[in-house]
Amino acid sequence: MTAIDDRVIGIFENLEVPEGFKAELIRGEIVMTAGPDMVHNLIVLAIQHQVPYGRWRALTTQDLTVPGQASEPQPDLVVFERGVVEEHGRLLPSPAVTLVVEVVSRTSVDRDYRTKREMYAEGMIPAYLIVDPIKGVCVLLTELSRPSGTGPQGYMSERTSKFGEPVPVDVLGIVLDTTDFRTYA
């Protein structure tokens, strides 16, 4: 990392985020967004409740660290296997994560579909679920490519399902029920 990255990280780590806002460090930029819509929160809650607690941890508001990047994203939901990491501290290393979930808002479309897609793949997260209440779809990205030093990591498989259709999440061994997912008003 560069000196600028280090300064931005220092500012980010000491940032006082106003109540009702969320701050993330995305590729060297501090991104602050307003709190989510209730539709957003209910989708996250529905997914969290479907993750088997005996094997997995499913956390909201958990910051990640992405090796080699000036990024500390805070996905809407982070799922990792119990016992994979020590369960303390502010940052969870992205390679320890099995699934990240982002629920798209009107202001996060490009970030969720493009920037975070690239970032999570480069962070070696096996599965990325984009839940889009604008379009009423879930997009599950899996199967990381294994570049030979010539390009960035990427997701090779993309499966889109409409709200109401089941979403098989093989990395967790579950089929996600999306019948309660709603679109934004």
Question: The domain that contains 112 carries what CATH number?
Answer: 3.90.1570.10
Is residue 6 included in any domain, yes or no? no
The first and second tokens of residue 3, run together, are 């000196």
Residues 94, 46: contact at Cβ < 8 Å? no
Query: Does the residue 101 lie in any domain?
Result: yes
- Write the CA distances from 185 to 87, 106, 162, integer angstroms: 38, 12, 17
What are the tens digits of pLDDT across the range 6-62?
777 777 888 888 787 888 788 777 888 777 899 999 999 999 999 999 999 999 989
What does DSSP say about strands 127-132 and 137-144: parallel, antiparallel, or unpaired? antiparallel
Q: How many domains does the chain have?
A: 1
Residue 24 located in a structural domain: no
Answer yes or no: is pLDDT of 3 > 80. no
Q: Count of CB atoms within 10 A of residue 2's CB? A: 9
Determine the 3-state secondary structure of 99 from DSSP: strand
The answer to the question of residue 7 being in a domain is: no
What is the predicted pLDDT for the residue at 30? 84
What are the pLDDT digits (tens) for 120-154? 999 999 999 999 999 999 999 999 986 665 556 79
Helix (H) / strand (E) containing 4: helix 3-13
Query: 174 has which bridge partners?
Result: 169
Q: Encode 89-125: b = buried (16+ Cβ within 10 Å), e = exposed.
A: eeebbbbbbbbbbbbbbeebeebbeebbbebbbbbeb
Residue 65 lies in a domain: yes
| The residue type at 35 | G
Structural domain boundaries, residue 161: 36-176
Exposure string for 16-41, b = 16+ CB within 10 A, e = fewer: eeeeeeebbbbebeebeeeebbebbe
The band of 159, judged by pLDDT with boundaries at 50, 70 and 90, is very high
Does residue 108 lie in a domain region? Answer: yes
Kindly state whether residue 161 falls inside one of the protein's structural domains. yes
Evaluate whether residue 85 is within a structural domain: yes
